[in-house]
Amino acid sequence: MLVEIKYFGMLAEITGCSSEQLNVSIKKIGEIKELVLDKYPDLRNKDFRMAQNHELVSDATMITGQEIAILPPFAGG
Amino acid sequence: MKTTYKNVFRDGPISSSFIAQSIAKHQSKTRIGAHNIFLGQVRADMIDGNEVVAIDYSAYEEMANKKFHEIRETTFKKFNLTCMHIYHSLGMVKSGEICLFVFVSSPRRKEVFKALEYVVETMKAEAPVFGKEIFEDQSHQWKINS
């Protein structure tokens, strides 16, 4: 399954890209997180949350094959 | 089908003339008896002797616009409001300039005090907006809402 991963703010500085497509055979958001952390070990000591299709999700959420975003702490206003 | 939400984002700072025009547009809405306005201003924080001169805002725009839409819906359900407007800057906003403009209106004053606080606090907690604090020596750090 092809999923698009988006990175924002300080996390995009670490990954060096704002989005990438990953071909995965996994089922849960937590597994995407592990895959991304293996690819970018510097993310391990960063605080972030994950969203799928524009909603925050937990590690146990099933991947639906669309857009997944990795979001640093919010700083609006 | 992809739903598109109202875009709250504006490039650069929110000008005082934009705010003034927004107020003037409400003169025809004569059921309104009270407005309340929140303006977020970029603060020149001093961190380790280095002063913040600007914040470079970015956002996960699709998700943020969806969140702002949901906040609007919830706010209209919770409070007796006539109308509500939210604008947030993207890109560079210098210290002293306005980066957030929230404007709520109601027939009565008590509603607008409660509603405005609710909108601003919820937005800060839930909208995926990110701020890069730029220092005078051009170094930067990422802002985190407290």
- pLDDT per residue as tens digits for the range A23-64: 888 889 999 999 999 999 999 999 999 999 999 999 999 998
The CA-atom distances, in angstroms, between B85 and each of A73, B105, B108, B126 are 24, 9, 17, 17
Give the angle B142-A28-A75 at the CA atoms, nearest 5°. Answer: 15
pLDDT in the model for residue B1 = 57
Helix residue ranges per DSSP H, B45-129: 61-78, 109-126
pLDDT digits (tens, 9 = 90+) for B81-107: 999 999 999 999 999 999 999 999 999
Q: Which residues of B touch A68 (CB under 8 A)?
A: none
Q: Which residues of B touch A75 (CB under 8 A)?
A: 129-131, 142-145
User: Is the pLDDT score of A7 beyond 80?
Assistant: yes
Q: Is B39 left (phi over 0), alpha (psi -120 to 50) or beta?
A: beta
Contact residues for A16 (Cβ-Cβ < 8 A; gap 6+): none
- Rounded CA gap, B106 and B112, in Å? 6
Test B63 with A54 for CB contact under 8 angstroms. yes
Which pair of structure tokens corresponds to residue A5? 């991963």
Phi and psi at B5, nearest 5°, equal -105, 160
For residue B108, the distance in angstroms to the closest alpha carbon of chain A comes to 26
Test A77 with B129 for CB contact under 8 angstroms. yes
Across A10-14, average pLDDT: 96
pLDDT in the model for residue B144 = 85
Arithmetic mean of pLDDT over chain B:
96
pLDDT in the model for residue A24 = 87
The amino acid at B58: S
pLDDT digits (tens, 9 = 90+) for B34-80: 999 999 999 999 988 999 999 999 999 999 999 999 999 999 999 99
DSSP B14: P
- Rounded CA gap, B129 and A73, in Å? 9
Say what the ipTM of the complex is.
Answer: 0.94
Q: Which residues of B touch A74 (CB under 8 A)?
A: 124-130, 145
- Three-state SS at B137: coil
The amino acid at B6: K
